[in-house]
Amino acid sequence: MPKSSAAYYKMLTFWHKLTDYKYFWPVFMIAGLAFCMAASTFEFLDLYLQLILIYVGINIILTVSLNLINGYMGEFSVGHAGFMAIGAYVASLLTVHVFPPVAQNLLFPLAILAGGVGAALVGFLVAIPSFKTRGDYLAIVTLAFCMIVKSVLENIDAVGGPRGLLGMEKLTTLPWVFFWTALSVWVIRNLVYSNFGRGVLSIREDEIASDLMSVNTRQVKIIAFVVSSFFAGIAGGLFAHALQFINPRMFDILKSTDILIMVYLGGIASIGGSIIGAIIYTILLEILRPLGVWRMVLMPLMLVLLMIYRPRGIMGMKEIRMFLPLRDLVTEKLWRRKKKETTDASA
């Protein structure tokens, strides 16, 4: 607990009460969606701000989904951009070549979903080497995977080869981004606080012990990789239709590095942290844009300083209360009360 004034404490309790309220999330979601719809129809946010918000949403999806592998499971995947590329290409091919131009808007969610499914299928394949390979060797597997995806895309002329793919309409709107971001955060949170998610955590802590405690580690790894890559694919599809142009070089190792930085900036094994990390990183990059090339000198420097003074990132291994399931909160409350009683008794 930081040294804080009574007013701060009051506000915090009020906030906790608010977020613990049963209808907090539904109300928050509807309000958010309404805001996004209003913003994009009436354009009271200018297009530049809207675009930034769209990137914030996409980056949140990417960061939260990568955190599942790198934070919760404790592996070091550097191939997230590869899954993103698959989602982007599958969704774009569908909207450009398959879907009739008339029904673009209607079929857009289907295209995004297909991108996610495509990425998830490949994620399944990447999960297989993770059964036996761990640590740096798995990092290499994901790295090689990312490079293979990029090189393969460069060699397929049907998707534009190195020149890339264009012709997508600007279908990614703020409401859609809000929807998919909320969905991905919700689903990954649900996973993390289920017994499958605890299985993911236990693999990070001690894989052999977790296997011996009846956790089917292979099943858990597959679930984690499939869910993570699914949402990376979703983010890719949204990204392609926000930018309306993609080429293989956009999804190289630098893109993966970007996502990694957001994950570790926000802190591992924390959904709230990932969201904060993605928001801060995306907005900071925009704010610093006037600095030109020095922006990219300053950003890594700040990252290094952050790592030195706060090696676990902003929220490492901690969770914002509003993402915790109520059931866990109740047990924690009981625990605090008992702890207080025992300290009072001993005092």
Partner 1 sequence: MAYIFQQALNALQLGSIYALIALGYTMVYGILTMINFAHGDLFMVGAFFCFLLAVYFHLSFVPTLLLSMLGVACLGVIIERLAYKPLRNAPRVSAIITALGVGLFLENFTLALSPYPKHIPQLLENTTWAIGALSISSLQILIIVLSLVLMLILDFVVQRTKAGMAMRAISWDKTIVPLMGVPVNKIISLTFAIGTGLGGAAGVMYGLAYPVIDPYMGIMVGWKAFICAVVGGIGNIRGAMIGGFILGGVEILVAAFLPSTYRDVVAFTLLLILLIVRPYGILGKPQPQKV
Partner 2 sequence: MPLLEIQKLTHRFAGLCAVSDFNFAIEPHELVGIIGPNGAGKTTVFNLITGVYRASEGSIRLGRQELVGLSPHAITKRGIARTFQNIRLFKELSVLDNVRIAHYGQIAYTPAEALLHIGRFRAEEKRITDQALDLLSIFKLDEMASEKAKNLPYGLQRRLEIARALATEPRLLLLDEPAAGMNPNEIIQLMEFIAWIRKTFSVTIILIEHQMRLVMGICERLMVLDFGATIAQGLCSEIQNNPKVLEAYLGVEVAQ
Count the neighbouring beta carbons within 10 Å of the beta carbon of residue 193: 17
List contacts with partner 2 (CB under 8 A).
187, 190-191, 194-199, 201-202, 204-206, 208-217, 223, 227, 317, 325, 327-328, 331-332, 334-336, 338-339, 342
- What is the pattern of x (binds partner 1, CB under 8 A) and - over residues 227-266? --------------------------xx--x--xx--x--
Q: Give the distance between the most distant pair of CA atoms in the chain.
A: 76
- The site for partner 1, by CB under 8 A, has a size of 43
Q: If we measure between CA atoms, which residue out of 151, 154, 147, 152 comes closest to residue 79?
A: 147
Torsion of CA 90, 229, 114, 97, to 10 degrees: -10
Q: Does 145 bind partner 1 (CB under 8 A)?
A: yes
Q: Does 213 bind partner 1 (CB under 8 A)?
A: no
Touching partner 1, residues 299-318 (CB under 8 A): 299-301, 303-304, 307-308, 311-312, 316
For 280, residues 6+ apart whose C-beta sits below 8 A from its C-beta are 265, 266, 314
Residue number, 155 or 342, with CB nearest to partner 1: 155
Write down the least CB distance from residue 81 to partner 1, Å: 13
**Residue 196 burial (10 A CB sphere; 0-12, 13-18, 19+):** middle
| DSSP conformation class of 98 | I
Q: How far is CA 19 from CA 24, 161, 226, 314, 321, in A?
A: 6, 49, 30, 21, 8
Write down the least CB distance from residue 5 to partner 2, Å: 27
- Tokens for 170? 């600007």
Q: Binds 268, which of partner 1, partner 2, none (CB < 5 to 8 A, cut-off by type)?
A: partner 1
Residue number, 17 or 338, with CB nearest to partner 2: 338
**Residue 104 burial (10 A CB sphere; 0-12, 13-18, 19+):** middle
Write down the least CB distance from residue 110 to partner 1, Å: 30
Q: Binds 270, which of partner 2, partner 1, none (CB < 5 to 8 A, cut-off by type)?
A: none
Write down the least CB distance from residue 202 to partner 2, Å: 5
Bridge partners (DSSP) listed for residue 166? 245
Q: Binds 289, which of partner 1, partner 2, none (CB < 5 to 8 A, cut-off by type)?
A: none
Residue number, 104 or 217, with CB nearest to partner 2: 217
| DSSP conformation class of 215 | -
**Residue 301 burial (10 A CB sphere; 0-12, 13-18, 19+):** exposed
Q: What is the C-alpha R_g of the chain?
A: 21
Residue number, 308 or 347, with CB nearest to partner 1: 308
Q: Does 132 bind partner 1 (CB under 8 A)?
A: yes
- What is the pattern of x (binds partner 1, CB under 8 A) and - over residues 39-78? -------------------------------x-----x--
**Residue 74 burial (10 A CB sphere; 0-12, 13-18, 19+):** middle
Residues 277 and 70: their CA atoms lie apart, in Å, by 14
List residues binding partner 1 (CB under 8 A): 70, 76, 129, 132-133, 136-137, 139-141, 143-145, 147-148, 150-152, 154-155, 162, 208, 253-254, 257, 260-261, 264, 268, 293-294, 296-297, 299-301, 303-304, 307-308, 311-312, 316
